[in-house]
Amino acid sequence: MKKDIFNIIVPLNSHGYRIDKFLQSQINELSRTRLQALIRDGQVKINNIIINSTSKKIKEDDQIKVNFPPPKETLIKPNKIPLDILYDDDDIIVINKSPGVVVHPGAGNYDKTIVNGLMFKYKNNLSSIGGKLRPGIVHRIDKDTSGVIVVAKNDNAHINLSKQFSDHSIKRVYEALIWGSLKPQNGKISEKISRSVKNRQLMTVRKEKGKIAITNYKTLKIFQNSNLPKISLIECQLETGRTHQIRVHMNFKGNPIVGDKSYGKSKKKFKKIDPKIENQINNFNRQALHAKSLGFLHPKTRKELFFEARRPEDFDALIKNLKEASV
């Protein structure tokens, strides 16, 4: 099988970078561990010379070549799970992910993930850049978040899509139900996000440290009456794609996402509320967050593509009942 190859010339603004950090900035979903393994395996060349040091500094105009070997046989067990496929061609697959489904295998989740389903349906016809646990995976959304994701069938498509994510040129729009109402109702949140010091599995806004995160939001509807606490339906367009970005930013604003157990209270007590709505909210066992749409350039044809995913039934039913209760 022919190897896929990634070539790039180092720009002036990257002079002096470590080779592994530079490549990670260029290939969005290539983990540092995966990159360092490729470097140690002799799969990276600078000016046509194989390097083995992951900390080697690069210079302006260096020519870098990365070989991606064919994927080795993996231990991932293919599972026949339902995949809501919105689009499929020789280079990409676009999926509407259901809530409660993990994107790729990891600690505690080694089967019945999107990857297991992809392996069953597409065999080895997936990109290898993500390694044996993430074949085809260019980006991901949280287990309990629903909506659109794009998968790469080959390494060239993966590299191209990763570059679009890295350049922030991909258009990502989410819908969410939040507690209260945002002030102002339409705006932009530009707050740095990093790992929480108290809980390394969570993220937090940290003004001194962290990576810049930008969320544009607009309020679509505010639900409220004498028997209903204020809840807003909002739309968020991401300029960056940090871990848990919308959930962290909404919590920072004091408007956590309904049902979010990590960045808000999963259950609330109400002084006065329609019993039907109270029961539905308290039994909504995940964050009310949906990756509504995804727009990008096709990695081969360069045609502009746009995909929209319907809301899952539980999310749609909650919105419908909130509308009825707020009349």
Taking only the tens place, the pLDDT of each residue in 122-177 is 988 999 888 777 889 999 999 999 999 999 999 999 999 999 998 999 999 999 99
Residue 142 falls in the annotated catalytic set: yes
Q: Phi/psi class of residue 112: alpha, beta or left (left: φ > 0; alpha: ψ in -120 to 50)? A: left
Q: How far apart are CA 277 and CA 178, in angstroms?
A: 15
| 265 vs 66 pLDDT, higher one | 66
* pLDDT recorded at residue 71: 60
**Strand pairing report for 186-190 and 171-179:** unpaired
Query: Can you tell me whether residue 104 is helix, strand or coil?
Result: coil
The answer to whether residue 34 scores a pLDDT higher than 70 is yes
pTM, whole model, 2 decimals?
0.77
Token pair of 127 as six digits: 């990109």
Written as one string, the DSSP assignment of 168-210 is T-SEEEEEEEEES--SSSEEEEE--EEE-SS-TTSEEE-SSSS
**H/E segment holding residue 163:** helix 155-166
162 CB burial (10 A radius; 0-12, 13-18, 19+): buried
Sign of CA dihedral 143, 147, 148, 153: positive
**Helices 313-325 & 275-282 angle (0-180, nearest 10):** 150
Per-residue pLDDT reduced to its tens digit, 51-79: 999 999 999 999 999 988 776 555 678 88
* pLDDT recorded at residue 32: 78
Name the residue with tokens 């040129």: 169
Which residue in 20, 142, 155, 314 is the catalytic one?
142
Cβ neighbour number for residue 281 with a 10 Å cutoff: 24
What is the rounded average pLDDT of the residues 222-239? 91
* pLDDT recorded at residue 130: 81
Domains and CATH numbers, the chain: 4-68 (3.10.290.10), 84-153 (no CATH), 171-325 (3.30.2350.10)
Confidence of residue 268 (pLDDT cuts 50, 70, 90): low
